[in-house]
């Protein structure tokens, strides 16, 4: 097996480096944990875990997570955009120092949240125009609540805009149950929790005409949130049928021609996760379990040091004893981080990514932009946008 350290650099990866990383994961039977982050603290926890596990990792931000990171006291319509970009800039400032590849990703974007998506793409375009790469590595459109035709059509239009910058697109077809970040699918028709091979191929057929940098979140009974194993019927073997059907339709030499992702993995058994990865899942979302881990670290600290956290002065050692070293945020936040680090390492081990990328222990630099020599990259974006618009116009003329 080719060592991924020889072909992918540490730090935030985009474009061809991202493709190489995901192809390596698919070819070598492992998936990369994608962890939702809402602060620099949670992002640093993920980076620390990946460094300790010698694993590539994905840091992703949701619409609500971006708004929280911006500051809940700031009531502006662009808060989700501002916070998401801020998280990306923070990760770009520190990622390379951790010595492992990091994918910067935005999570579920429903139709009602498209202005958030547009804002992040604008930031990508501005960053690309200056430095020749996008700010983010990838973005997700989740239009699974819409009819398939509309879902795919909107994805096609956005992918035309993203492809010139080599931004990866993740899309969802078939619905992930449960509730996450304001999108509630708790009462959805159970049949919609299972995507068909024909649906997945329709996505492949439409997007592959634009580019190859895309992945599909195909539902196989997944549910967001926490549940006990056995309470939800997962059928990860269905993913193998998707691969086989598309392979047949395009006569692909690859056994797994589609990049697949897994959502709603909390509570999944090791066997279910393993089956999903075997069938081409290269990314698994993690949120509920890491949220609990972060809180649990704080909960245990408060329980252990309760009597030292009731006032600034006075504790079991004496009425005049100061408690600053207990209530200092750096102390109890660190306990939360340590617990989250442990949980992310567990995910790396379960997904098989642990040990795949021995962390580079020396060097590092911020990745906030380095002007590229040669043709102005903005011209590529403009050319891609023009070609996309022309193709759309031609399609409309033909359909008339």
Between 79-94 and 63-70, two packed helices, what is the crossing angle to 10 degrees? 80
Helix (H, G, I), strand (E, B), or coil: what is residue 341? helix
354-375: b (≥16 Cβ within 10 Å) or e: bebbeebeeeeeebeeeeeeee
The model's pTM is: 0.88
> How is residue 154 annotated by DSSP?
H
* 76: phi then psi, degrees, rounded to nearest 5: -130, 150
Sign of the Cα torsion 115, 188, 144, 292 reads: positive
Provide the pairing of β-strand 32-36 with 138-141. Answer: unpaired
The closest of 247, 286, 233, 249 to 264, measured between CA atoms, is 286
Known catalytic membership, residue 304: no
Residue 259 CA to residue 275 CA, distance in Å, equals 15
**What per-residue confidence (pLDDT) applies to 382?**
52
Helix (H, G, I), strand (E, B), or coil: what is residue 152? helix
* 215: phi then psi, degrees, rounded to nearest 5: -140, 160
pLDDT beneath 70: ranges in the chain: 1, 175-192, 224-232, 266, 372-400
**What per-residue confidence (pLDDT) applies to 398?**
38
> How is residue 320 annotated by DSSP?
E
Q: Taking the CA atoms of the chain, what radius of gyration do you get in angstroms?
A: 22
The closest of 108, 109, 166, 93 to 134, measured between CA atoms, is 166
Sign of the Cα torsion 276, 30, 12, 380 reads: negative
Residue 179 CA to residue 186 CA, distance in Å, equals 6
Give the count of beta carbons closer than 10 Å to the beta carbon of residue 131: 16
Contacts of 225 (CB under 8 A, 6+ apart): 178, 179, 180, 264, 266, 288
**What per-residue confidence (pLDDT) applies to 369?**
86
Give the up-direction half-sphere exposure of residue 136: CA atoms within 13 A in the CB hemisphere: 30
Provide the pairing of β-strand 101-106 with 11-12. Answer: parallel
**What per-residue confidence (pLDDT) applies to 395?**
41
Which of these is catalytic: 6, 16, 107, 289?
Answer: 107
Q: Where are the alpha helices (DSSP H) in 237-287?
A: 238-250, 270-278
**What per-residue confidence (pLDDT) applies to 305?**
98
Give the up-direction half-sphere exposure of residue 197: CA atoms within 13 A in the CB hemisphere: 14
**What per-residue confidence (pLDDT) applies to 176?**
62
Helix (H, G, I), strand (E, B), or coil: what is residue 253? coil
Contacts of 72 (CB under 8 A, 6+ apart): none
Entry field: residues in the chain: 400
First-to-final CA distance of the chain: 52
Give the count of beta carbons closer than 10 Å to the beta carbon of residue 154: 16
**What per-residue confidence (pLDDT) applies to 373?**
56
């Amino acid at each position: 097996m080719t060592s991924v350290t020889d072909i992918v650099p540490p730090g935030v990866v985009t474009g061809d480096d991202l493709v190489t990383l995901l192809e390596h994961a698919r070819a070598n039977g492992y998936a990369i944990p994608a962890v939702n982050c809402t602060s620099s603290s949670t992002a640093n926890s993920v980076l620390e875990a990946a460094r300790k596990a010698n694993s590539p990792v994905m840091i992703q931000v949701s619409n609500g997570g971006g708004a929280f990171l911006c500051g809940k006291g700031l009531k502006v319509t662009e808060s989700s955009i501002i916070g998401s970009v801020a998280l990306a800039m923070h990760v770009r400032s520190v990622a390379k120092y951790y010595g492992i590849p990091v994918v910067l990703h935005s999570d579920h974007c429903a139709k009602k949240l498209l202005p958030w998506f547009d804002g992040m793409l604008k930031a990508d375009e501005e960053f690309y125009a200056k430095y020749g790469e996008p700010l983010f590595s990838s973005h997700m459109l989740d239009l699974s609540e819409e009819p398939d035709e509309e879902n795919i059509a909107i994805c096609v239009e956005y992918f035309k805009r993203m492809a010139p910058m080599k931004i990866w697109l993740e899309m969802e077809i078939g619905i992930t149950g449960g509730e996450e970040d304001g999108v509630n699918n708790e009462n959805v028709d159970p049949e919609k929790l299972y995507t068909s091979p024909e649906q997945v191929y329709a996505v492949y057929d439409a997007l592959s005409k634009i580019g190859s940098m895309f992945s599909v979140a195909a539902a196989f009974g997944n549910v967001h949130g926490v549940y006990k194993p056995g309470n939800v019927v997962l059928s990860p073997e269905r993913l193998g049928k998707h691969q086989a059907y598309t392979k047949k339709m395009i006569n692909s030499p690859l056994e797994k021609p589609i990049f697949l992702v897994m959502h709603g993995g909390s509570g999944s058994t090791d066997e279910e996760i393993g089956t999903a990865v075997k069938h081409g899942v290269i990314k698994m979302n993690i949120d509920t379990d890491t949220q609990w881990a972060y809180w649990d670290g704080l909960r245990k600290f408060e329980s252990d040091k309760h009597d030292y956290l009731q006032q600034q002065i006075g504790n079991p050692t004496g009425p005049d004893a100061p408690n600053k070293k207990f209530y200092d945020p750096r102390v109890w936040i660190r306990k939360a981080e340590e617990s989250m680090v442990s949980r992310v390492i567990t995910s790396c081990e379960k997904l098989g990514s642990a040990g795949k990328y021995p962390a580079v222990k020396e060097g590092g630099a911020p990745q906030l932009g380095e002007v590229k020599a040669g043709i102005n990259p903005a011209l590529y974006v403009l050319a891609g946008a023009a070609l996309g618009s022309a193709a759309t116009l031609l399609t409309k003329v033909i359909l008339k």
